[in-house]
Chains A and B, each alone.
Chain A
C-alpha cells in the first residue's frame, strides 16, 4: 500500500470522515488517493488558515479530533495561526502537511519551509516522517497525543516521496510513548483535603474554565455546585460549561466579567479552579487577586497549577474524573449570608446597556437569543462583539460557544462556524462578528456557497476595530490611531450585503432597531446557503463592565447607561 493510502486508511481507523484544506505540489499523491476514496469527505477551503479553524470549530462543536491538510511551504505556514489558536485553547486537532521529498529537505527547495521547526512552539507535538514504515504508528501517536491529557494540535509533516513509497499497512492498537503518561484520576488524599476546605468554607466560588468542556464534565459540575450550593463563575473558554440561567451562575469573571462575579471572587475565602489557568484577563493584577482566598486547583496539566497563583490544594487530573470523586466528599451547606451578599451585587450592577432607539449591538444579540431560544451554536471573532456575544446571549450547554479565548484570533469565527456546521449539521450555527474580523476570512463565503453550508454571519458593523478604539478612547485620550475601517463615518467599507450577494450568499443590511427581529427571522428561515447580516450599529459603543489592564478585578469601570 502506498503512503498516501496508508494515511487515509489510518485516518479511517481514527474515525475521521472529513478533512479541511487545500492541496499543492507536495500533497498531490495524497490528493490522488482522496479522489479515489469514497468514505472521507474533503472540504476545499480558500485559505489554509480557514482550514485550520474549520478543523478547530469541528472539534469544539463535537469533541472529536478535527483534521486539516495543507501543502508544504506557504500552505504549512498559513496553518500556523490556526494551530496556535487551537494550542492556546487546548483543542484536539491533527494537521497534515506536505513536505518536499526527503532527499531535498534542507536544500531550500521550491515551497520548502522548516514546518516542524516553525510549528514546534504552537503544537502539542509534531513529527516529520522520514520512512513510510513509520507512517501508521506516527498517525496513531498523533491522534493519541491530540485527544488525551491536555489536548492540543499535533502536526505531521509528510514528504512527498513518503506518500508515494509503499509498505505493508498495519495500524497499531496502542500508542506507546515512554515520556507521556497523563495522570487523570486525581490523588484521593488531595481530593479529601479539598473537600475539607470546601466544607468549612463560608464564601466559596467555583471558577470553571474550558477544561470542564473538554473533559465533558458539565453534568458533574452541576451536581457538584448544587450539592455544595456553590456559586460558579466561568471563564470565556468555560462559557456554557455551567448553565447561565442557574441561580448559582455568576457568568464570566475578569476584564469584561460581571461586577458580581468579580466581587464574589475578590471577597471569597475559597476558590475552586476547575480546568482553568488564571489567565491575565481573569486575574487582573495578580498580587491583589482574591487575597483572602485559599485555592484548590484541579487541572490535567501540572504546569497550569501554581504557575500564576499558588495552589493550596493542587489536584492533577481530569476535571470530570476528579469532580465525580470530589462530590462524594462534600456536604450540603446553605451559606445563606454569602448568597444574600451575591444577590445584592447582582441587583446592584446587572449587565446593562442603554435602551433607546439607536441600533445597539447588545440589543441585536438579545434578539438573536430570543429568536433562537438559546439553541444555536455561536462562534465569534475577536473584539468587542466577542464580549457582547458572551454577555448577552445565554449559554446553557457546553460546546455551544466557540471562541478564540487564548490567542484572540480575529478571523476565527467564520471558518469555525463552518467546521461546527459540518460537525452538527442539524444545529443553527451563527458567527457573531465585527466588521474588522469578518474580513480576515471573508473569502470562505465561497466555501460555504459551493458546499451549500447554511451558516449565519451576524456582523456588528461599527466602522471600527472597536476594541482597540475603546482602549484608545478610555486610555489614550480618544486618539483613534488606525482603527477606522470606512472611508468616512457615513461611508462604511465594504457593503457586506453586496459582497455576500457577489459570492452567491444571502445579504441583509439592517440600520434600524425595529428591523432587527424581522431580519433575524428572515435569516433563520433561509436554508440555501450562507447568510451575511450587516448590522449598522452605533460607532462608539463600549464593552462594560471593564477592568483596565493591570488593575485589580474589583477596580472596575461601569458604563453610565
Chain B
C-alpha cells in the first residue's frame, strides 16, 4: 500500500540526511521524496511516498517522530488531500509530429515550455495517474528525458 507522509522538520542542515539515513538503515523504501520551505522559513516540509504494510508504516511514522528535528508527521492515507506531481518531459519532435504532441499536451492542459528543432519540452502537473497517462501517450514519439519533482500533497481546507 502506498502512503503519502508529510513531515514538518526544522530547517537545519543535516535534516534530510537524518531522514534518508533512517529509511536506508531500517530498510524502508522511498518511492519519492520532495523537500521545500514552508510559510515559516524555520520549517521545511518533506513529502515522502513510501510503500509497505501497516506495521511497517506504523514504524516509519514512529521512527520519524523520534527524530528531535522532526516537528510533526502526518500519514495522509485517510485524509482528504490534493496531491500533485510535476514533470518536465523532453520528447523527440520534428516538424511532422510536433502538432500531434502539442495537441496531446493541450488535452492534458500541459504547458509547452521549450521548442527546439528536434525536440519539444512539456511541463505536466497533476496527480500521479494523470502524469503516468501523459507519459504513456507520448512514449511512441520517443522520450529523451524526464525530470520529476516527486509528489507533494496538502490537506483540503475544511468545507
Contact = CB atoms under 8 A, between A and B. Distances in A.
A312 to B, nearest CB: 15
A120 B69 CA distance: 13
A302 B17 CA distance: 22
A13 interface: no
Interface residues of B, number: 20
A128 B69 CA distance: 14
Contacts of B65: 179, 302
B17 A117 contact: yes
Contacts of B21: 120-121
A269 B66 CA distance: 32
A310 B17 CA distance: 30
A381 interface: no
Contacts of A482: none
Interface in B9-35: 9-10, 14, 17-18, 21, 25
Contacts of B63: 303
B69 A116 contact: no
A310 B67 CA distance: 23
A302 B71 CA distance: 16
Contacts of A145: 68
B59 interface: yes
A180 B17 contact: no
Nearest to B9: A179
B10 A307 contact: no
Contact of A179 (B17, B62, B70): B70
A9 interface: no
A301 interface: yes
Contact of A306 (B55, B66, B68): B55
Interface in A305-355: 306-307, 310
Given A120-B18, A121-B21, A306 B10 contact: no
B59 A177 contact: no
A178 B66 contact: no
B58 interface: yes
A480 to B, nearest CB: 34
A302 B63 CA distance: 8
A374 to B, nearest CB: 37
A222 interface: no
Nearest to A304: B62
A175 B15 CA distance: 19
A125 interface: yes
A121 B62 contact: no
A502 to B, nearest CB: 43
B71 A306 contact: no
Interface in A110-162: 116-117, 120-121, 124-125, 128, 145
A306 B56 CA distance: 10
Nearest to B73: A179
Contacts of A177: 68
Interface string B46-80: 00000000010011001101111111100000000
Contacts of B70: 179
30 contacts: A116-B14, A117-B17, A120-B14, A120-B17, A120-B18, A120-B21, A121-B21, A125-B67, A125-B68, A125-B69, A128-B14, A145-B68, A178-B71, A179-B9, A179-B10, A179-B65, A179-B69, A179-B70, A179-B71, A179-B72, A301-B66, A302-B62, A302-B65, A302-B66, A303-B59, A303-B62, A303-B63, A303-B66, A306-B58, A307-B59
Interface of B: 9-10, 14, 17-18, 21, 25, 55, 58-59, 62-63, 65-72
Can you list the 7 inter-chain pairs with the closest CB atoms, starting with the nearest? A179-B71, A180-B68, A303-B62, A179-B70, A302-B62, A178-B71, A125-B68
Interface of A: 116-117, 120-121, 124-125, 128, 145, 177-180, 301-303, 306-307, 310
Given A120-B21, A180-B68, A303-B59, 4 more contacts: A117-B17, A179-B68, A303-B63, A306-B55
